[in-house]
Structure 1
Amino acid sequence: MQKTKLSYAETRYESQTILDYLAEKESLKSFYGRFPELENFKIQMAEKAAGFKQQSREVLVQQLKQQYAGFKASAATQANINSLLEPNTFTVATGHQLNLFTGPLYFLYKIFSVINLAEQLNISYPKTHTVPLYWMATEDHDFEEINHFNFRGKKVPWNRKDGGAVGELTTEGLEELSKLLQKTFGVTPFGKRLLQLFKDSYCNHKTLDAATRFLGNELFKEYGLVIIDGNDANLKKAFIPYAEKELLQQTAYKKVTETTERLLHKGYKEQVHPREINLFYLKEGIRERIVEVDQKFYVNETDIVFTKEAILQELQQHPERFSPNALLRPLFQEVILPNLCYTGGGGELAYWFQLKNYFEEVKVPFPILLRRNSVLLISEKESEKLKKLEVAISHLFQKQEALEATFTKKVSEIKIDFTPQKELLKNQFEDLYVLAKKTDASFKGAVGAQEKKQINGLEYLEKRLLKAQKRKLSEQLERLTEIQDSLFPNQNLQERVTNFSEFYLDYGDDLFTVLKENLDPLCHDFTILEF
């Protein structure tokens, strides 16, 4: 096992917003609360404890127990759920879509980030207890994003009709898919284990939320992970006052718009666009936006319409029918959880930066934001191939064209760099510019045009020479690009494409052991693991 770290800047895959956040640039500091350093969690604990009521803990534990009814939660998970009744117990949370069979690898990295962070906090602050928590995005409705996983370069699809919140979808069609997976996973012990895990998850549970809870519980139960479904009527009762403000005052739209304008002024990008009302209406296979027109509230793409009085009554009687969108879900989460920290990818954290002023307006503590661990898994065989080519793993993060050019220039016996010739040419033209000053402007323009033409000619020759050397080194370049294509499928990060099953077939549960032991959530670098 070999572990290497790269700064996120070196990977070239991270946004400038997150790079500035990790560097604690002054320009971004007003858009978040406390930076994820160990000593800051003590202050966060005190702030959260001061405003989180015992009644909220009782409702949370009651609903978690109800959600886990019928599932065999581990002793560690049960203990963590019970501990949430105590005023000195907190959560560190991550959230994720209900991707088929976990989806891309970074699902694992999110979960291990919160598991390891909770362990670090429990060691550093023994008088408190911190619980790792996974928030299932059961209310999402983008079925196309979750209805497949990738295995060895091919998409494994789940074909069925969609509609409404994905958590409520039945597992129709997955029995047939499990039969196809028998050939995909093979007959090795690890292959059989994967197939059985898929069947137990998706063929023995009627809905996608139940299947995902079972799967997450099976993969992480020994670490005490607690899984929560926010699509819960009793949990949403606590959110009624905030949803009412959203309907009547459009507070989120006003505050998030102000914050977004400040972000844009500082050169950062808008991640999520706020709407006047950031709530969906959720009922019987539909999840559509609520839109206000002339004091009437319409459910988009339906015939459902409410008066002001009627929609407020609906909210009181059926809070489960009001579903927060991407901008409001973070607030819902922080209202119902004794949460210290949210862990997510760069894109997720970027939209949290739009929310701080809104949290302050509604008087809810803003959590610490942690960039989840990112990982590249490389086999010993692939690593040896790179060593023979004398290429560092870090070079593979380049775009393929740049990688080929860098490698060719490095190993070519001919120097593919016409910089000296360009400098010599520029020096020669300096004398011509001196002469041009003594004549008219047209001659100076002619000199400039000729200089540009000659520089372009040298650059063209340099490209031709590079192309010729690439042909000469084609066998080595082919070996190099094959490795990159394997580790960066479709020129994307491995963690955003590849499913864990590819590695589980080779390593079994050792995959989870290696990730658990090597991921440090408070180390703000990209991790490369060779095993």
Structure 2
Amino acid sequence: MKAITEALRSGTQLAEDYICSRDAARGLYEYDIHWESGLHARAEWLNQSENTRVNRQNLVEYLRIYNKRLNDHEAVHHSISRLAEEGTFVVTGGQQSGLLTGPLFVIYKAASVVAAAREAEATLQRPVVPVFWIAGEDHDWDEVNHTYLPDRNGEMTKVKLHGRFDGRNSVSGVEIAVEQWMNVLEQVEHLLPDTVHKPGLMEMLNRIHQSSSNLSDAFARMLSALFGNSGLVLMDAADPGLRELEQPVFERLIRENTSLREAYLQGASMVQESGYSMPAEVAEDGANLFYIHDGARLLLFLKDGLYTDRKGLVSFTEERLLQELGEHPERFSNNVLTRPLMQDSVLPVAAVILGQGEIAYWGLTRTAFRQFGLQMPILLPRLSYTILEDVHHKHMNQYELSFQDVQYRMEEKREQWLAGQETFQVKEQFEQVQQTFAELYRPLLDQLAQIHAGLDRIGETNLRKINEQIQYLEKQTQKAIMDKHEVGLRHWNGIQNSLFPMNKPQERVHNALFYLNRYGTKWIEELIENGREFRGQHQVITL
């Protein structure tokens, strides 16, 4: 694997300033991005705060049960056994479950968790385990029920999990029939070209999805197949077993809701006073918790001393809400602001791997961490890549295109290239014809108007039709030139669709299956082995 660093258009200004260690962002976070200097301080705090987290042995027992079912690898069980030892830390990160793992950046995030855990262990000289959260509690079904693969011509094709989905249940709660999975895999089979890796890849996909009844389980099994041998431990935020373990933390979130809400509002003020736009909504009456009611995940607010949703479907006093929590912890769920607190109340987190959007909204939480008796962990931007295949690299050299040209100037460069292929200047020639014709025809119309007003109207209509025909001929000429240079334009489209499909970074659109089908799985381990720096830099890699 070869890699060169290239700038990629960033997400939010707050995340960019944190990554660049700019003064405006520093006060919103606990540690600087130069994480090696903060690791020992973080380790010392974790040593002294074991009692702020759920019982370690109960956590390990839950992880053993969950991973035995979905992530049954010797390396994973070894990681869990290490976590049972007091003084073992974790590097963690998470993502909502997506179809066939979703976009490439999910693979990069999981690789980042493993790589950072190895680096932290080497630095601290003590066990550090990689743990990946599956955010199965999220309920944005339309965001996760599809992914993209290129067709045989390189055009991006949407692969979608079809079926009715009613309500706002969590993704982990949506049951999927085998027939729906098979429809997806038929689409994949059709789109993936034949390679030496395809039979084994399709066999793995069929095995995983025939044994999965929901998207989160399939997602977990996919991650297990790709990262299990690296010891990556998995957990689903929507799993009832985990909810039971988290019940005391939810109780604190409810009992201390008023002070936490004030802490989040203070965090929002600090973000705005530092000159940044709000990365997430912080409602003045927000309880920052979800309650699952009749299959719908309802965001709770505090109104007149009652916990209720905006539509008034549920309403609880604090005492009744705590009673409901004791009886049904599986009905409770974190929002984007309380999820960080829950994570650090469950796991001994040395560092957390985040995308830029996540880094931004974590900037709202520092005061809440302290209010909750916790300390914000070290935040690391995930590894970020664009895979540049040989054929596209060759064509970029042929057309003298840089990565930044493809990112920012592709249309302009393509038009320049196309114009340079012909001595016949289409636009200039046809503009001259229209101008000359108008100069000849306009005096005639003026004379006709003096003869009869009706002739003037007919003449104007005639002029418009003639211009339309000239414009039609211009378009046909342009099309003929494009057809003449079809091969070259196909090269240009191939570069665009590979590096910036749909005008978005490759890692946010392409699914990993295309590259797994072409290169196998070895490149994922290479990502882990080469992922030693977490500075938010983007790298263009060749496999």
Counterpart Cα distance in 1 of 2:513 and 2:379: 29
> Within the alignment, does 1:344 sit opposite 2:354 as a pair?
yes
> Within the alignment, does 1:35 sit opposite 2:38 as a pair?
no
One-letter amino acid matched to 1:85: A
Residue of structure 2 aligned with 1:492, choices 497, 504, 515: 504
Instruction: Check the 8 A contact 1:400/1:481 in 2, yes or no.
Output: no
Q: Which residue of 1 aligns with 2:291?
A: 281
Counterpart Cα distance in 1 of 2:527 and 2:497: 23
The secondary structure found in structure 2 opposite 1:238 is helix
Pair 405,24 (structure 1): closer, same or farther in 2 beyond 3 Å:
farther
Counterpart Cα distance in 2 of 1:61 and 1:155: 39
Q: Which residue of 1 aligns with 2:279?
A: 271
One-letter amino acid matched to 1:161: R
Pair 91,257 (structure 1): closer, same or farther in 2 beyond 3 Å:
same
Counterpart Cα distance in 1 of 2:265 and 2:409: 35
Q: Structure 1 stretch 377-386 or stretch 69-78: which is displaced more? A: 69-78
Structure 1 residue 409: Cα displacement: 12
Counterpart Cα distance in 1 of 2:77 and 2:20: 38
Residue of structure 2 aligned with 1:195, choices 189, 202, 221: 202
Equivalences for residues 36-185 of structure 1 within 5 A: 36=33, 37-53=35-51, 56-71=55-70, 73-126=72-125, 128-152=126-150, 153-162=156-165, 163=167, 164-172=169-177, 173-185=180-192
Gaps of 5+ in 1: 414-467
Q: Which residue of 2 aligns with 1:368?
A: 378
One-letter amino acid matched to 1:487: L
Counterpart Cα distance in 2 of 1:176 and 1:483: 30
Pair 511,177 (structure 1): closer, same or farther in 2 beyond 3 Å:
same
Instruction: Check the 8 A contact 2:350/2:378 in 1, yes or no.
Output: yes
The secondary structure found in structure 1 opposite 2:69 is coil
> Within the alignment, does 1:331 sit opposite 2:341 as a pair?
yes
Counterpart Cα distance in 2 of 1:86 and 1:390: 56
What TM-score comes out, normalization by structure 1 length? 0.82
Instruction: Check the 8 A contact 1:167/1:208 in 2, yes or no.
Output: yes
Structure 1 residue 105: Cα displacement: 0.2
Structure 1 residue 411: Cα displacement: 12
One-letter amino acid matched to 2:504: N
Q: Structure 1 stretch 368-377 or stretch 156-165: which is displaced more? A: 156-165
The secondary structure found in structure 1 opposite 2:307 is strand
Q: Which residue of 2 aligns with 1:243?
A: 253
Gaps of 5+ in 2: 151-155, 424-477
Instruction: Check the 8 A contact 2:28/2:270 in 1, yes or no.
Output: no
Q: Which residue of 1 aligns with 2:467?
A: none
Equivalences for residues 460-471 of structure 1 within 5 A: none
Q: Which residue of 1 aligns with 2:217?
A: 210
Instruction: Check the 8 A contact 1:380/1:530 in 2, yes or no.
Output: yes
Counterpart Cα distance in 1 of 2:536 and 2:303: 46
Residue of structure 2 aligned with 1:252, choices 247, 251, 260: 260
Q: Which residue of 2 aligns with 1:19?
A: 16
Structure 1 residue 352: Cα displacement: 0.3
Q: Which residue of 1 aligns with 2:464?
A: none
Counterpart Cα distance in 2 of 1:520 and 1:402: 37
Instruction: Check the 8 A contact 1:116/1:520 in 2, yes or no.
Output: yes
Q: Percent identity?
A: 25
Q: Which residue of 2 aligns with 1:515?
A: 527
Structure 1 residue 274: Cα displacement: 1.6
Counterpart Cα distance in 2 of 1:309 and 1:524: 45
Counterpart Cα distance in 2 of 1:406 and 1:39: 49
1:166-195 deviations in whole A, cap 9, x for unaligned? 112212221333344333335544222232
What TM-score comes out, normalization by structure 2 length? 0.80
Residue of structure 1 aligned with 2:270, choices 262, 267, 277: 262
The secondary structure found in structure 2 opposite 1:288 is strand
One-letter amino acid matched to 1:265: E
One-letter amino acid matched to 1:58: Q
Counterpart Cα distance in 1 of 2:396 and 2:511: 23
Structure 1 residue 399: Cα displacement: 4.6
Q: Which residue of 1 aligns with 2:441?
A: none
Instruction: Check the 8 A contact 1:246/1:277 in 2, yes or no.
Output: no
Instruction: Check the 8 A contact 1:185/1:194 in 2, yes or no.
Output: no
Pair 101,302 (structure 1): closer, same or farther in 2 beyond 3 Å:
farther
One-letter amino acid matched to 1:263: V
Instruction: Check the 8 A contact 2:71/2:228 in 1, yes or no.
Output: no
Instruction: Check the 8 A contact 1:240/1:316 in 2, yes or no.
Output: no
Counterpart Cα distance in 2 of 1:236 and 1:359: 17
Pair 521,403 (structure 1): closer, same or farther in 2 beyond 3 Å:
farther
1:12-31 deviations in whole A, cap 9, x for unaligned? 33432222112211111110
One-letter amino acid matched to 1:2: K
One-letter amino acid matched to 2:266: E
Pair 130,76 (structure 1): closer, same or farther in 2 beyond 3 Å:
same
One-letter amino acid matched to 1:289: L
Pair 90,198 (structure 1): closer, same or farther in 2 beyond 3 Å:
same
One-letter amino acid matched to 1:178: L
CA RMSD for the aligned pairs?
Answer: 2.7
Instruction: Check the 8 A contact 2:11/2:357 in 1, yes or no.
Output: no
1:306-325 deviations in whole A, cap 9, x for unaligned? 23321121123322221111
1:99-157 deviations in whole A, cap 9, x for unaligned? 0110000011101111111111222222x111111100010000001001101101100
Q: Which residue of 1 aligns with 2:456?
A: none
Instruction: Check the 8 A contact 1:185/1:195 in 2, yes or no.
Output: no
Pair 503,351 (structure 1): closer, same or farther in 2 beyond 3 Å:
same
The secondary structure found in structure 1 opposite 2:31 is coil
Q: Which residue of 2 aligns with 1:443?
A: none
Residue of structure 1 aligned with 2:316, choices 306, 312, 332: 306
Structure 1 residue 246: Cα displacement: 5.2
Pair 69,505 (structure 1): closer, same or farther in 2 beyond 3 Å:
closer
Instruction: Check the 8 A contact 1:48/1:365 in 2, yes or no.
Output: no
Pair 510,118 (structure 1): closer, same or farther in 2 beyond 3 Å:
same
The secondary structure found in structure 2 opposite 1:369 is strand
Structure 1 residue 392: Cα displacement: 2.4
One-letter amino acid matched to 1:332: M
Q: Structure 1 stretch 254-263 or stretch 85-94: which is displaced more? A: 254-263
Pair 55,369 (structure 1): closer, same or farther in 2 beyond 3 Å:
closer
The secondary structure found in structure 2 opposite 1:68 is helix
The secondary structure found in structure 1 opposite 2:76 is helix
One-letter amino acid matched to 2:5: K
1:44-82 deviations in whole A, cap 9, x for unaligned? 111122112386211210111121243452111101111
Pair 371,411 (structure 1): closer, same or farther in 2 beyond 3 Å:
farther
Instruction: Check the 8 A contact 2:71/2:234 in 1, yes or no.
Output: no
Structure 1 residue 410: Cα displacement: 12
Instruction: Check the 8 A contact 2:131/2:233 in 1, yes or no.
Output: yes
